[in-house]
């Protein structure tokens, strides 16, 4: 994975977090998984990442989410969350619209 791809992933996560904060909404683990699943499936479908990079992308997103929680999620749990994210083929464009607007 390139540095540019990593910047894109973290940047999109941060844009989405700012959007959630501007809506005065809580960003739950379920919300995060739904967002991350759609984002990774969008990246894959748009060929911004290849299939082999899906896991790394999920780990980057999960680690970013964990950082926002004060690193309360264990590494094992981050791995399980990442596996859950990449196992779901869902792509909901309405969730992603705030980061592309």
Decide: 58 and 36 in contact? Cβ < 8 Å: yes
Decide: 72 and 53 in contact? Cβ < 8 Å: no
Mean pLDDT across the stretch 64-84?
Answer: 95
Instruction: Report pLDDT for 30.
Output: 93
Mean pLDDT across the stretch 15-26?
Answer: 93
Instruction: Report pLDDT for 26.
Output: 87
Q: Say if residue 85's pLDDT is above 90.
A: yes
Question: What does the alpha-carbon distance between residue 68 and residue 42 come to, in Å, rounded to a whole number?
Answer: 23
**At residue 15, what are phi and psi to the nearest 5 degrees?**
-60, -40
Structure tokens at 94: 């309405």
């Amino acid at each position: 994975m390139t540095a540019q791809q990593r910047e894109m992933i973290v940047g999109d996560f941060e844009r989405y977090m700012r959007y959630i904060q501007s809506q005065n909404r809580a960003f739950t683990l379920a919300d995060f998984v739904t967002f991350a699943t759609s984002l990774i499936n969008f990246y894959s479908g748009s060929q911004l990442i290849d299939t082999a990079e899906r896991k790394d992308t999920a780990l980057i997103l999960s680690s970013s989410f964990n950082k926002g929680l004060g690193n309360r999620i264990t590494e094992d749990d981050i791995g399980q969350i990442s596996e859950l994210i990449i196992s779901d083929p869902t792509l909901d464009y309405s969730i992603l619209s705030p980061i592309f607007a």
